Amino acid sequence: MSLKSIFLITLSTLLTSVFFAQDNNWYHGEKTKAKPYNINTDWVYENVLKNKKGKTVVVAVIDSGVDIEHEDLDDVIWINTDEIPNNGIDDDNNGYIDDINGWNFIGGQDGRQVAGDTYEMTRSYIKLNRKYENVDPSTLSEKEIEEYNKYNEYGKKIEKEIASAENQFNQLESTRVIYQEIIDYLKEYLGDEQLNATLADSLSTKLDRGGQMANNVVSVLRQDLGYIPSLEEIELILLPPEFAEMQDYYGSKFKYHYNINYDTREIVGDDYEDLSNRYYGNNLVEGPDAMHGTHVSGIIAAERNNNMGINGVANNAKIMVIRAVPNGDERDKDVANAIRYAVENGADIINMSFGKGISPNKSYVDDAVRFAEKNDVLIVCAAGNSGEDIDKNETFPNDIYIKPKGFLFWKKKKAKNWLMIGASSKFDNENMVASFSNYGQEEVDIFAPGEFILSTVPNDNYQVSQGTSMAAPVVSGAAALIRSYFPDLSAKQVKEILISSTQPLTTLVNQPGEEKLISFDKLSVSGGILDIKKALEMSGKMKGKKKNKTTKT
């Protein structure tokens, strides 16, 4: 890719983000025939919930960590009032010491934190490598041959992915060096002056390499923007935060994701093979990179109408922070224990904006989901961003219970407290479905806004992001509203309401991952986009069936 094409793509992304950030709460608007993508949040607060007082609802966010001191979140973070802060004692006897705001299942007792981790495929290869590294395939049984072939398949893919990631990283690094050279040249060239027409034109007379590169960049930006940009604008366009994120993305692949010599459990300090061990980790819930979890939490419950930042969907929600998602694939053991922690400590809803393609200990996660179902806790999960039909291509975690050991006959069973969410966008046309969103007429329950979503990020900042990771917390916020103002409704009833209250859309949309049009209502169980107004109307007409929690393992 040429220098020109790279920074033009960067410019396009930047301008798009700025445009949508100006309307930072767009999806909260009134749903109309012309705007079917809105979810009626503001209308509900102005016309239904005005002067009404709801019950506090606890939403557990199982994610990468959360900046609990963020200006728009600090008043909505869950506090474990049965625990005395920082006294080194498990005051409430729940097995976790000083868990004031939640728990971190990917940290060590010495305070160290897991940042990056391997992919599940890499972990599977490591296990198979111990068994098949020096084996003679002619000595293997038919079942072992299957494993052996999988071992070779994984090995080739890992080798290929590492080579590709290193190549992409090195290309980006070369580009970054060039961009930085241009920026440094312009800084020296301009001194204390602002870039103007005379100075911009004089760049074309420079014969040295830096001058020619700077002239090319300024000329293209001047033409595309319609004015002469400032040095600050040029620097932001050439090296925006997204550039570093791209480098980190590819760097993480060969440093962590596909690195067969990297073992994070040395940091955590548990015996990973011992699934019965639940009490490990630490209470440092922010972690080394809390961007994702902070963004998710803001969508759910950022303080409303406080004259700063954004408005969360729910006004009576408290965020319980549970860190279990690294830069890499989350581990089944950590996910299961995170779910159990949430249930045992009073969560009403669990948001899970993560997923992967392999789940070797799914039965352990299933047991935790059953525990949540038994205790009337709703789980809201992101469908994933691969543009795939997950009716055909299974993603994990999911609501399909696998056959328990010892069962000869097993009829497919699904969790009744589980919602799977796809991402919609801000377009009333064929682009109404986010191009990256997974879908499925059986496995995806509803769609919710998941593109151009402005929310909280660490250090009192705000950022536009996209993904089914953003759509899921929109639904978690809606579920929190229902459970706040209609506390007698069970998790199963809330799920039914959120699905039934959408208006099925027959709009023809681009099918994610395919070059064809499909009716929107063929992409999910509900066939529509979240509608908080109708959901609350339906909630008011339904008799509650909520049962008391048992919270016994």
Q: What is the pLDDT of residue 547?
A: 67
pLDDT band for position 551 (cuts 50, 70, 90) = low
Q: What is the pLDDT of residue 178?
A: 94
Q: What is the pLDDT of residue 3?
A: 46
Secondary structure, 3-state, 436-478: CCCECCCCCCEEEECCCEEEEECCCEEEEECCHHHHHHHHHHH
What average pLDDT is seen over the chain?
A: 92
Q: What percent of the chain has pLDDT over 90?
A: 86
User: Considering the entire predicted model, what is its pTM?
Assistant: 0.91
Residue 533 tokens, joined = 């107004």
Contact (Cβ atoms closer than 8 angstroms) between residue 70 and residue 456: yes
Residue 13 tokens, joined = 């992304």
Count of positions (residues) in the chain: 553
Is the bond preceding residue 240 a cis peptide, omega within 30 degrees?
A: no
What is the DSSP annotation of 102-119? EEETTB-TTS-B--B---
Among 295, 280, 258, CA closest to 455: 295
First to last CA, the chain: 55
Q: What is the pLDDT of residue 148?
A: 96
Residue 545 tokens, joined = 């069936």
Among 498, 64, 481, CA closest to 300: 481
Q: What percent of the chain has pLDDT over 70?
A: 94
Strand runs (DSSP E) across 316-441, as ranges? 317-323, 349-352, 378-382, 400-401, 413-414, 418-424
Q: What is the pLDDT of residue 24?
A: 66
Q: What is the pLDDT of residue 286?
A: 97
Q: Would you say residue 111 has pLDDT above 80? A: yes
Contact (Cβ atoms closer than 8 angstroms) between residue 387 and residue 436: yes
pLDDT band for position 241 (cuts 50, 70, 90) = confident
Q: What is the pLDDT of residue 25?
A: 81
Residue 454 pairs with which residues in a beta bridge? 464
Q: Would you say residue 224 has pLDDT above 90? A: no
Between helix 532-540 and helix 491-500 the angle, nearest 10°, is 130
- Estimate the share of the chain in helix, then strand, then coil, as percent rounded to the nearest 5: 40, 10, 45
The four Cα atoms 246, 474, 40, 54 give a dihedral, to 10 degrees, of: -140
Greater confidence (408 vs 527) lies with 527
> Which of 232-246, 319-333, 340-354 bottoms out in mean pLDDT, i.e. has the lowest?
232-246
Q: Write the single-letter amino acid at 469.
A: S
Is the bond preceding residue 397 a cis peptide, omega within 30 degrees?
A: yes
Q: What is the pLDDT of residue 304?
A: 93
Task: Give the span between the Cα atoms of 16 and 505, in whole angstroms.
Answer: 27
Domain boundaries, the chain: 25-109+286-540, 124-245
Question: pLDDT tens for residues 380-429?
Answer: 999 999 999 999 999 999 999 998 777 766 778 999 999 999 999 999 99
Q: Write the single-letter amino acid at 468.
A: T
Greater confidence (257 vs 50) lies with 257
Q: In sequence order, what are the residues at sequence separation of 6 or more whose Cβ sits closer than 8 angstroms to the Cβ of residue 79? A: 100, 101, 318
Strand-by-strand arrangement of the 418-424 sheet: 102-104, 317-323, 57-63, 349-352, 378-382, 418-424, 446-449
Count of CB atoms within 10 A of residue 389's CB? 19
Q: What is the pLDDT of residue 6?
A: 47
Question: pLDDT tens for residues 440-453?
Answer: 999 999 999 999 99
Question: pLDDT tens for residues 416-427?
Answer: 999 999 999 999
Contact (Cβ atoms closer than 8 angstroms) between residue 489 and residue 482: yes
Residue 17 tokens, joined = 């983000």
Q: Would you say residue 525 has pLDDT above 90? A: yes
Q: Would you say residue 463 has pLDDT above 60? A: yes
Task: Give the span between the Cα atoms of 224 and 246, in whole angstroms.
Answer: 24
Q: What is the pLDDT of residue 158?
A: 97
Q: Would you say residue 267 has pLDDT above 90? A: yes
State the Rg of the chain over Cα.
25
Q: What average pLDDT score do residues 467-473 get?
A: 98
H or E element at residue 59: strand 57-63
Q: Would you say residue 7 has pLDDT above 90? A: no
CATH class name, domain 25-109+286-540:
alpha beta
